[in-house]
Structure 1
Amino acid sequence: MAGASLLTLLDDIATILDDVAAMSKVAARKTAGVLGDDLALNAQQVSGVASERELPVVYAVAKGSFRNKLILVPLALLISAFIPWAITPLLMFGGLFLCYEGFEKVYHSMTHKKAAPADDETIVAKGKADIDDLAAFEKDKIKGAIRTDFVLSAEIIAISLGVAAHMDLMGQFLTLSVIAIIMTVGVYGLVAGIVKIDDLGLYLAKRKAEGLGHNIGLILVSAAPYLMKILTVVGTIAMFMVGGGILTHGIHVVFEWIEHAAVVVEQVSVVGGVLGLLTPSVLNAVFGVVAGGLAVLLMNGVMKLIPSKS
């Protein structure tokens, strides 16, 4: 009797794990777009850090991402169980925050000119201050990356929860946990590889004086700065696309209008299919830029009303 009960239990566990594996695959496919944006954003977020500090920074952000998901997974289950109506407003707030950060970054880069290069004596005199500034810069990078990761992780968890909505509580918990672990390890593993491309290229270039490996190394070293610049641009655009997409999905009228626009452009001969795929992303990004601009304008107005401390 006990043996039969044990076999039944093992069969139930195997069934649950099979369902979790199937739902995890579906959730992974549905969150692939967000994963791409997450990768671009996080690679861009850790750019500009000293070479020897790149991996420690990525590791620190990865730990922060795991902490985010330790908060988000049980929180998503609780919200889904007791106040499911709150999921969309919370996601929209996160989307607006992404748009705000993206617009603030663009606005800051356009309004702040680069300072003129200092002479050698000034650089030496400010040596200690520079070290302090670099440490503060690194902390800000980590905090900013973890904040951004929180919003993107929330969207990934929400999408995964929607896929596993028909499962029982344990199935949902296991599915969300699997997705959280896979996404975090995958994203930050790739980010670590991207930020160390230049070091890999330098290693290959120095290993042999000539040959295929040497040439590949030189190409990687030359391409690394351009790749990081591209990721910076792509990461900023991704902020508007993801944030704007979250907002438009929460505003039914705007979402329907974007879907209608995509259907209309699909009727264009030859390139209609491509335009139909690009139109929602472009319109979401435009909506994100407008929303981010309004959020920055509102925040600046509020900050002016708050009396400054002496």
Structure 2
Amino acid sequence: MPGGLVALLDDVAALAKLAAASLDDVAGAAGRAGTKAAGVVIDDAAVTPRYVVGLTPDRELPIIWKITLGSLRNKLLFILPVALALSAFAPWAVTPLLMLGGSYLCFEAAEKIVEALAGHHAEAEVAGIDTPAELERRQVAGAVRTDFILSAEIMAIALAELPDASFGMRAAALAAVAVAITIGVYGVVALIVKMDDIGLHLSKRPSAIAQRTGRLLVQAMPVLLQALSHIGVAAMVWVGGGILLHGFEAFGLNAIPHFVHHLAEAAGHAVPFAGGFVEWLVGAIGAGICGLIVGAAIVGAIHLVPRKKH
């Protein structure tokens, strides 16, 4: 009996070590995949705060929570099974779908630029809604719809980083990426949208340092939200354009991607003390210009052509 118990404990210990090694592998794969999706994550975090425009402060966190649940549902119930099925049965479809999503990001960014130049603002979109419940429903639906596109891009980028992993490893890594990124993004979003309330609370504290910090947070909020709006648009064209350039390379259309790559390398060599950063910056600008051109073409095709016919 003692010998059997020792053997059983040895088997349990071996299984525990195997499970720990598997978790390490999943964590490593999820980390690599999540890093590649960082651009879309920035976009997601920058875009979401605009969906609480027009809402009372006491409803901001409940709305963010609803969007968080919608994002998790998008990733785990819809996108994850489709991504795994594609990786198993139609891996050739991943790149075209990535390019389709990248084109949509470019279109959204170009449309926002057109709207800004035309003087269209988010406040005008919600001005005609009568009830708070209808406003919340519309804002959550719009946020979850946009999140679906961004989540699909995140999961597809993550999947592309796991070409040699087993089916179980891919599933576990993608699920880990989905949960970690969703919690991280919407945790940051919740902090951003409540920053003015935190500042107001600090401004009422007896400490002079707390009061100054609180006033600074309240004054910084409009600037931060405006900056996030611009960062979101820039991230859209950067990420979307980068996805398109990689897709062009995958299909053998190398002229534009190679031009951007060589231009970035030349700029990096020209500034040796900050070569890596300059090379990345020029590459990002090149991808952004490519994305902006594609997005503008789509906006023109959707909006201008029908008006001309009409």
Q: Distance in 2 between matches of 1:159 and 1:214?
A: 44
3-state SS in 2 of match to 1:266: helix
Pick closer, same or farther for the CA change 1:176–1:273 going to 2, 3 Å.
Answer: closer
More off after superposition, 73-82 vs 271-280: 271-280
Among residues 50, 68, 91, which one is paired with 2:56 in the alignment?
A: 50
Q: Could you say which residue in structure 2 is the equivalent of 1:87?
A: 94
Q: Could you say which residue in structure 2 is the equivalent of 1:123?
A: none
Q: Could you say which residue in structure 2 is the equivalent of 1:290?
A: 293
Is 1:105 paired with 2:112? yes
Pick closer, same or farther for the CA change 1:199–1:6 going to 2, 3 Å.
Answer: same
Offset, 1:181? 0.5
Q: Could you say which residue in structure 1 is the equivalent of 2:139?
A: 141
> Pairwise CA RMSD of aligned residues?
2.6
TM-score by length of 1: 0.84
Structure 1 stretches of 5 or more lacking a match?
115-128
3-state SS in 2 of match to 1:132: coil
Is the CA contact 1:44–1:231 (under 8 Å) kept in the aligned structure 2? no
Is the CA contact 1:47–1:195 (under 8 Å) kept in the aligned structure 2? no
3-state SS in 2 of match to 1:207: coil
Is the CA contact 1:64–1:146 (under 8 Å) kept in the aligned structure 2? yes
Pick closer, same or farther for the CA change 1:113–1:224 going to 2, 3 Å.
Answer: closer
Q: Could you say which residue in structure 2 is the equivalent of 1:154?
A: 152
Is 1:187 paired with 2:185? yes
Equivalent AA in structure 2 for residue 175 of structure 1:
A
3-state SS in 2 of match to 1:164: coil
Offset, 1:92? 1.0
Q: What count of residue pairs does the alignment treat as equivalent? A: 292
Offset, 1:26? 2.4
Over residues 7-46 of structure 1, what are the superposed CA-to-partner deviations in whole Å (9 max), with x where a residue is unaligned?
A: 6554443332221122223223333333223222223444
Q: Distance in 2 between matches of 1:274 and 1:10?
A: 43
Is 1:204 paired with 2:205? no
Is the CA contact 1:41–1:231 (under 8 Å) kept in the aligned structure 2? yes
Is the CA contact 2:39–2:235 (under 8 Å) kept in the aligned structure 1? no
Pick closer, same or farther for the CA change 1:266–1:48 going to 2, 3 Å.
Answer: farther
Q: Distance in 2 between matches of 1:95 and 1:242?
A: 7
Is the CA contact 1:95–1:151 (under 8 Å) kept in the aligned structure 2? no
Is the CA contact 2:109–2:233 (under 8 Å) kept in the aligned structure 1? yes
Among residues 53, 63, 72, which one is paired with 2:69 in the alignment?
A: 63
More off after superposition, 88-97 vs 25-34: 25-34
Equivalent AA in structure 2 for residue 276 of structure 1:
E
Is 1:215 paired with 2:212? yes
Q: Percent identity?
A: 39
Is 1:14 paired with 2:14? no
3-state SS in 1 of match to 2:269: coil
Is the CA contact 2:39–2:239 (under 8 Å) kept in the aligned structure 1? no
Q: Could you say which residue in structure 2 is the equivalent of 1:29?
A: 35
Offset, 1:288? 1.4
Is the CA contact 1:46–1:145 (under 8 Å) kept in the aligned structure 2? no
Is 1:170 paired with 2:173? no
Is the CA contact 1:161–1:172 (under 8 Å) kept in the aligned structure 2? yes
Pick closer, same or farther for the CA change 1:156–1:134 going to 2, 3 Å.
Answer: same
